Amino acid sequence: MATKDDVSRERLFTRRALLLGAGQAGLLSVLAGRIYYLQVVESSRFQTMAEENRVSMRLLPPSRGRVLDRGGEALAVNRQNFRVLLNAEQAPNADAVLAALSEIIPVGEADRRRVLRELKRRRSFVPVAVRENLSWHEVSRIEINAPDLPGISIDMGQTRYYPFGPTAAHLVGYVAAVAESELTGDPLLELPGFRIGKGGIEKIHDVALRGRAGRSRVEVNAVGRVVRELDRQEGTPGGDLSLTIDMALQDFATKRLAGQSGAAAVMDVHSGEVLALASVPAFDPNLFTSGISARDWDELLHNEYTPLINKAVAGQYPPGSTFKPVVALAALSAGLVTPEFRVNCPGHYDLGDSRFHCYKKGGHGSVNLHEAIAQSCDVYFYELARRCGIDRIAAMGRALGLGERTGLDLPGERGGLMPTRDWKLRTSGIPWQQGETLVCGIGQGSVLATPLQLALMVSRIVNGGIAVQPRLTRELVARDGGFVARPPEAQSIGVKRESLELVIKGMEAVTNTQRGTAYAARIKEPEMAMGGKSGTSQVRRITMSERDAGLHKLKDRPWRERDHALFIGFAPVSAPRYAAAVIVEHGGGGSAMAAPVVRDLLIETQKRDPSRRQPPGAPSVAALGRG
């Protein structure tokens, strides 16, 4: 018979069992509810997550647009490029993977450090290019060893190629890898091996040439390897860019200046189209496509002939006597002189206690404006400069395109310098001196100009005083709409045509009269004859003692202390169509060194003029007039 204690214990056990059962039932209910929620309510979300884990979305880099010359000759194109990539998300130990890869193909220590650095700063799923431009043998070795190289993959892309190398380097520029400071959040810029424009036209029109990215959905397995492509949407290729440059003429100019350090510019005086813009020596832009070596970069950086600088737009030089037409126009426009005004040149000009020499030791005797331009008499222009004053000269220089950037669509252009009284006081705190005006009157002292500016100056003189602007871009052809670059409507510079004609006649006499300074460099074919102006830009002032000792001669001075040789020209004289400017750094006399180059350039330019190849009965170049 159960005792009272037994009954009490049984009741306690039953109560506990019920509580335990209730707790278990509650937990099972919660578990069942959670399972229902995950499998039924949230099923679509988890299905999407699983799908996204299996499907990878990848950007497709667009094909970069080509750069062409005016005739369709390719200056920048794309080539097939096999490269090896490393994806940090699939490679737990990137350093070990790179070490294993270096036993299969050459991977330098610098490349390894670069890859590890980029892996740290980029998102883990963004692959990094280890090596580019792989050979078929290297590609096959990597594919064979793929199981032992987690995170390594082969990608086929495009690399930029410049068929003309150094000849068009400063014009076209180059592309290179995106620097960390250039990342703007655009995922396209983070693609492995993606290149952007870093110089020249490639930089100015980078966005238009770059295009828009496409996308590809691919199925991947558990280790991230691509199983198959599900769909693909191609991007928009970059537009093809057409330049005003005539590549045959550009090549001719580069070869004509070979062995020198200098620059040349050729342009159409009416449209402003730049036909050639050469700077020598130059560099091979293909070196930058896959990454220039430290040795090659050091050689370019420390080369005394500065191949990295585009001397045609960034080289600033005293223009020497090529500046004298500016002074002549300033004096004529101000009514300070007439064509008949004469100055006696005894070989020097005295101002107070200072004596300013003419390049011709014995002097030119009595000369008028026409003779002074033809014979480049310094004393005549000392007198004109004194009468004008520096501010009038500077105003005329600016009207002709000097002293400010031309606005050409190339990076790195510099504006030269047209000094004024205010400029001197503002920059140095010292008042302008009249002797400085005389020195500037022959293109020395503070006056600085680029070869392109000098070609522009000639253009505005011989085209009737129209403020034409130089331009390099001709047309962009793109799928989403391109453009045709049309010159803006040019205004007059406000100089009387009679004054321009007087200066033009003087420049014609420079090359076409026996007493002209560049008669030896004349173009003998009458229908192609040129006019021009020589200039010799002094690099270092020759002291009186050196002059008396005969040490002022070119051959007695180190190369860097020799004068620059300049020449500006136009052709044909009967109806000017083309202007050219050349500088030969430390080349000596402009008539001897630079004038023959301009002559050859203008001959070649006119030979390539389509109007000269028109069928019989078509209007000749001479019949076109000055326009």
- Do 435 and 566 sit in the same domain of this protein? yes
* For residue 542, pLDDT beyond 70: no
**Close Cβ partners of 227 (under 8 Å, ≥ 6 residues apart):** 218, 219, 220, 221
Can you give the pLDDT at residue 50? 55
Catalytic residue of the set 261, 271, 321, 333: 321
Is residue 321 part of the annotated active site? The answer reads yes
Q: Is residue 34, in this structure, part of any structural domain at all?
A: no
Can you give the pLDDT at residue 554? 58
**The token pair that represents 466 in the structure block:** 């129209």
> Per-residue confidence at 625, pLDDT binned at 50, 70, 90?
very low
Span 44-84, pLDDT tens digits: 655 554 554 566 667 777 889 999 999 999 999 998 888 88
Q: Is residue 541, in this structure, part of any structural domain at all?
A: yes
Distance (Å, whole) CA 32 – CA 610? 87
* For residue 593, pLDDT beyond 70: yes
Q: Give whichever of 41-55, 120-134, 441-455, 600-614 has the largest mean pLDDT.
A: 441-455
Q: Is residue 280, in this structure, part of any structural domain at all?
A: yes
CATH at 193: 3.90.1310.10
Q: Is residue 509, in this structure, part of any structural domain at all?
A: yes
Can you give the pLDDT at residue 411? 94
Span 21-32, pLDDT tens digits: 777 777 888 787
**Taking residues 269-277, what's their average pLDDT?**
96
**Taking residues 118-143, what's their average pLDDT?**
80
Can you give the pLDDT at residue 612? 64
Q: Is residue 603, in this structure, part of any structural domain at all?
A: yes
- Do 232 and 260 sit in the same domain of this protein? no
- Do 461 and 585 sit in the same domain of this protein? yes
**Taking residues 268-275, what's their average pLDDT?**
96
Q: Is residue 417, in this structure, part of any structural domain at all?
A: yes
**Taking residues 243-264, what's their average pLDDT?**
96
Higher pLDDT, 231 or 107: 107
Q: Give whichever of 99-113, 182-196, 382-396 has the largest mean pLDDT.
A: 382-396
> Per-residue confidence at 213, pLDDT binned at 50, 70, 90?
confident
- Do 222 and 360 sit in the same domain of this protein? no
Q: Map residue 566 onto helix, strand or coil.
A: strand
> What stretches of 257-356 show up as alpha helix (H) in DSSP?
286-289, 294-301, 311-314, 324-333
HEC string for 53-84 = HHEEEEEECCCCCCEECCCCCEEEEEEEEEEE
> Per-residue confidence at 190, pLDDT binned at 50, 70, 90?
confident
**Taking residues 548-576, what's their average pLDDT?**
79
Q: Is residue 42, in this structure, part of any structural domain at all?
A: no
- Mean pLDDT across the chain: 86
Can you give the pLDDT at residue 2? 58
Can you give the pLDDT at residue 503? 97
Q: Is residue 414, in this structure, part of any structural domain at all?
A: yes
Q: Map residue 146 onto helix, strand or coil.
A: helix
> Per-residue confidence at 540, pLDDT binned at 50, 70, 90?
low
**Taking residues 13-37, what's their average pLDDT?**
76
Task: Tell me how many domains the chain contains.
Answer: 2
- Do 405 and 465 sit in the same domain of this protein? yes
**Taking residues 575-601, what's their average pLDDT?**
94
- Choosing from 214, 239, 264, the residue where a domain stops is 239
Can you give the pLDDT at residue 149? 86
Distance (Å, whole) CA 207 – CA 109? 33
> Per-residue confidence at 20, pLDDT binned at 50, 70, 90?
confident
> Per-residue confidence at 492, pLDDT binned at 50, 70, 90?
very high
Whole-number percent of the chain with pLDDT over 90: 55
> Per-residue confidence at 621, pLDDT binned at 50, 70, 90?
very low
- Stretch (H or E) spanning 176: strand 175-177
Can you give the pLDDT at residue 623? 36
- Do 168 and 218 sit in the same domain of this protein? yes
Residue 66, domain extent? 51-86+157-239
- Do 476 and 521 sit in the same domain of this protein? yes
Span 289-333, pLDDT tens digits: 877 888 888 999 999 999 999 999 999 999 999 999 999 999 999
Higher pLDDT, 212 or 515: 515
Least confident span in 87-91, 429-433, 470-474 = 87-91
Can you give the pLDDT at residue 445? 93
Distance (Å, whole) CA 592 – CA 540? 20
> What stretches of 221-323 show up as alpha helix (H) in DSSP?
247-256, 286-289, 294-301, 311-314
- Do 224 and 255 sit in the same domain of this protein? no
Whole-number percent of the chain with pLDDT over 70: 86
Can you give the pLDDT at residue 548? 53
**Taking residues 482-486, what's their average pLDDT?**
69
- Do 429 and 373 sit in the same domain of this protein? yes
Can you give the pLDDT at residue 5? 65
CATH at 370: 3.40.710.10
CB 56 within 8 A of CB 220: yes
- Do 563 and 603 sit in the same domain of this protein? yes
CB 173 within 8 A of CB 284: no
- Do 364 and 231 sit in the same domain of this protein? no
Closest C-alpha to 220, from 125, 294, 312, 142: 125
Helix axes 451-462, 497-512, angle to 10 degrees: 120
- Do 205 and 310 sit in the same domain of this protein? no
CB 77 within 8 A of CB 110: no
